[in-house]
Amino acid sequence: MDKADVLILGSGGAALQLAGKLDAEKNVIIITKSFMDHGNTSLAQGGIAAAIDEKDNSLFHFMDTMTAGRFVNNHQAALQLTIEGPAVIRELIKSGCAFDHDAFGKLTLGKEGAHSLNRIVHGGGDQTGKILMNCLKTVLPPNVKVMEHHFAFELLINVSGHCYGVRTKDKQGNVQTFHASHIVLATGGCGQIYSCTSNAETATGDGMALAYFAGAELADMEYMQFHPTLLYINDEGKGLISEAVRGAGGILVDEKERRVMKNVHPLLDLAPRHVVSQTIFKQRQQGHEIFLDIRGIEHFTKKFPFIAKLCMSEGIDVSEGFIPVAPGCHFSMGGVKTDTVGRTTIKGLYAIGEVACTGVHGANRLASNSLLEGLVFAKTLAHHLNTTAPYSHKDDGIHKKNLPSDYTLPVRTHLQKRMMDKVGIFRDIDNLEAQQKWLESFSLNRWHTFDIGMLTTEQITTLFMLQTAWLVTNSAIQREESRGGHYRLDFPAERMDWRNQQVIQKRIDEKRKLHEPVKT
């Protein structure tokens, strides 16, 4: 058994930012199920939003964040994000982060959907995530130990309700136990529960399922953001085409070169993501093909080298000026419910980054606020942990049943396709209830009572995807309105009586009704 002061599950931008800002005398262990760069942060293209231009200010950024989130954002969290953003960018520059500058040494700032001003800091043209990860890894202090290929499958909770550790499986399938004063979920999102997604293959909702099985509250799981422009070939999403392409002058057109966003939204191609995604989806349902027209962007390959390479690898010649696109699952606004420090509803357990839900994004994340969220709230949590005395929780031991002989799990691709078809961009009660019934046929109400360490890591991954899919589906059933990333065909309008309500989900003791959602 290994012990640490702080145990971080995940190795993306939020995890490394936290680890790098913890006091040097703390024993910090980062556990990641794959290798450090195998996650969504490294795939991030567009950049990091921050009000650093002299014409910009944090209030403008705050208002854009609120507008994109359809005004159900946590105001305190959104203010914290936008006010602290510029300082975080300056700290990264000071530590050597290679953001793009113009010929005069000034940061080049891009513009993306629903932003009122150019405020997107980027690196390597369209490789900001990679640049950020390289920087954070370089400054990682020696008190941080990284353990790759360790799959966390259970949070340890004692009878007092405190989280005191985690169980993992290594590459050989051996089970190991880690104890710590503080356990932090930084496991990322859950885009892989859908068949078409921009997410890394590691984004399977692990942290959300771990927290739910442990008894933590989750919130806003119905709010799933579908990015409007994934490279789409032969009915498959092949990778993300950054919104920065539209910010640089790309426009959406159909097969006859008619503008898709004309007369849809005042911001045209830079409308909020849910508006653009829903419009493209409707156009495709009507039999149209949709393309990103990049003919108006000079030196496209130089400005977007990664995207150009991606297109070329899939047989698309960018010099012809048209990239075939379709929406795909991109980001979860919901997750493990936390306060603005990162504390969950379980003592000793914290969450930061996409796995967490502070409410900062509301119903729809503003473009390029994701990397910023991880950086800002990881810094806040580091300050909290640095000023909190270490303590140990009592280990009550593990008392779980062996697996039943009759357990079943779905074929993963079937799960992903069903989620795309029934809980995708457009939803209705018939499809949602059909999906809920199908998900519950896999005995979700009893998995937390078994020792799932007896499963393989592939089986556990499927189980976590199954549980996370249920959380999204059940939340979508509960929210009887359309708002941001959640669109109900049977409730197509925003409703004022839902504006101040949030769907909270928590596993209830078996003696009561399991999976009982509550609204606050």
Q: Which residues are catalytic?
A: 273
**Rounded Cα–Cα distance for residues 327 and 276 (Å):** 9
The Cα 78–Cα 278 span in angstroms is 25
**Residue 504 in contact with residue 219, Cβ under 8 Å?**
yes
Nearest CA among 485, 518, 486 for reference residue 501: 518
Residue 481: CA count within 13 A, CB half-sphere: 16
For residue 120, the surrounding DSSP H or E stretch is strand 120-121
Whole-number Å distance between alpha carbons of 81 and 101:
24
Residue indicated by tokens 């985690």: 166
462 SS3 class = helix
Residue 177 to residues 90, 166, 213, 427, 453, Cα–Cα distance (Å): 38, 6, 17, 41, 11
What is the rounded CA–CA span in Å between residue 420 and residue 414?
10
Q: Which amino acid is at 427?
A: R
Detail the DSSP E strand segments found in 363-508.
503-505
The encoded tokens of residue 429 equal: 């009660």
Helix (H) or strand (E) holding 4: strand 2-9
Closest of 100, 40, 111 to residue 303, by C-alpha: 100
Contacts of 449 (CB under 8 A, 6+ apart): 400, 401, 510
Supply the DSSP symbol for 25: T
DSSP 8-state code for residue 153: E
Structure tokens at 83: 């006010």
Q: Helix 370-386 crosses helix 128-138 at what angle (to 10 degrees)?
A: 20
- Rounded to an integer, what distance in angstroms lies between the CA atom of residue 230 and that of residue 107? 27
> What is the Cα Rg of the chain in Å?
22
**Exposure of 151 in the CB half-sphere (CA atoms within 13 A):** 23
The total number of residues written for the chain in this structure: 520
In sequence order, the β-bridge partners of residue 184 are: 8, 350
End-to-end C-alpha distance for the chain, whole angstroms: 40
**Rounded to 5 degrees, what are φ and ψ at 297?**
-100, 115
Q: Which two tokens stand for residue 163?
A: 């989280």
Say if strands 120-121 and 109-110 run parallel, antiparallel, or are unpaired: antiparallel
